[in-house]
Amino acid sequence: MNIDLDNITAYCTQHSDSEDELLKEVARQTHLKTLKPRMLSGHLQGTFLSMITQLIKPTYILEIGTFTGYSALCLAKGLTENGKLITLDNNPETSVIAKDFFTKSLYKNYIEFISGDATQVISTLPYTFDLVFIDADKKNYALYYDLVFDKLKSGGLIIADNVLWSGKVLDLATNNDKDTLSMQAFNEKVVKDTRVEKVMLPLRDGVTLIRKK
């Protein structure tokens, strides 16, 4: 049987929790106002992130790559009462949209947005994180992994997005651009790292769950 991936995704989405009204509006505004709306995590992956965070009940979450705030709002759902989500982005135009939605959300007092280059900001953060979501520029994934590793508690989770990079990592002979090579190098680094347990999932553009031992 040959089932189309789009149909599988649609079926999975239909049989998962529905998107709340605020997230629907984030998705709508992202499509109306940004040049690359496909960067948004979206309904199915967002629901997955919400499930993971509600299982972990993190106190401190770090998100690298806010965009318009969709995944931050999904991840914030699992925060403990004294918890905090720090989210970083260096694009002021899309960050305006994110900050507006954070203010409108139930989590407005739990989300701290920091504007800046994540390669510079991460080392200044005075927290030990329970959960880190890596979803920014692909060339720096391996650097972000190194920068957050000592700030992640033992048993903590890193979620890395876009690890399949539209499937390009499977065929480096055809796809040898910088982002694809960086993502492939990141995937090799993670799979060889004996300090962590990991599972790569074919969800949307590929998601790896990485648990620090």
**Between 108 and 155, CB nearer to ligand SAM:** 108
What distance in Å separates the CA atoms of residue 196 and residue 45, rounded to the nearest whole number? 23
- For residue 133, the minimal CB distance to ligand SAM (Å) is 7
Angle 57-165-182 from CA coordinates, rounded to 5°: 95
**Between 60 and 144, CB nearer to ligand SAM:** 144
Helix (H, G, I), strand (E, B) or coil at 102: helix
- For residue 134, the minimal CB distance to ligand SAM (Å) is 9
**Between 138 and 212, CB nearer to ligand SAM:** 138
**Between 72 and 195, CB nearer to ligand SAM:** 72
**Between 75 and 196, CB nearer to ligand SAM:** 75
Number of Cβ atoms within 10 Å of the Cβ of 187: 21
- For residue 85, the minimal CB distance to ligand SAM (Å) is 12
The CA–CA distances, whole Å, from 47 to 18, 19, 105 equal: 8, 8, 17
- For residue 65, the minimal CB distance to ligand SAM (Å) is 3
Q: HSE, CB side, 13 Å, CA atoms: give it for residue 128.
A: 6
- For residue 73, the minimal CB distance to ligand SAM (Å) is 9
**Between 117 and 197, CB nearer to ligand SAM:** 117
Q: What values do phi and psi take at 53, rounded to 5?
A: -70, -35
Residue with tokens 């055809």: 174
- For residue 188, the minimal CB distance to ligand SAM (Å) is 21
Residues in contact with ligand SAM by CB under 6 A are 39-41, 65-67, 70-71, 88-91, 94, 117-119, 135-137
152-183 burial, b if ≥16 CB within 10 A, otherwise e? Answer: beeebbbbbbbbbbeebbeeeeebeeebbbbb
